[in-house]
Copies of this chain bind each other. A is one copy, B any other.
Amino acid sequence: MTNQSQLCPKFEKAMSILSKRWTGLVVYQLLRGSQRFCEIEASIGISGRLLSDRLKHLENEGMVKRDVYPETPIRIEYSLTEKGRALEPLMNELEQWSKTWIDEKEAVQR
């Protein structure tokens, strides 16, 4: 099959961001408002090692902003940029889809 790819490079890039594990959940969680490292860590169950990596990645993509408050102990708040917040409609779509098409039994256990 010699078919060339017809995929839009921008779309492909967008999908590559979303299809990296944890990244979508971090964005979803930050849609609730700015949060600190340990809050995100606890809320989605990611390890510190990977959360650190994903936040850096999202910062590089211009989707997340990092604010340092030199209190004691230090407080660092992460929040979405406009680019990040623009994924809200997509997240709502995914919520709707999951409510309609995923049943309790196959959902993630905790």
Contacts and interface: CB of A to CB of B under 8 A. Distances in A.
Question: Which label, helix, strand, loop or mixed, suits the secondary structure of the A interface?
Answer: helix
A9 interface: yes
Nearest to A94: B14
In the complex, the count of this chain's copies comes to 2
A26 to B, nearest CB: 11
Interface string A85-103: 0110110011101111111
A72 interface: no
Contacts of A107: 9-10, 12-13
A3 B43 contact: yes
B28 A24 contact: no
24 contacts: A1-B42, A2-B42, A3-B42, A3-B43, A5-B45, A6-B43, A7-B29, A8-B95, A8-B98, A12-B107, A13-B102, A13-B106, A14-B98, A15-B24, A15-B94, A18-B18, A19-B19, A19-B22, A19-B25, A61-B106, A86-B97, A90-B93, A90-B94, A93-B93
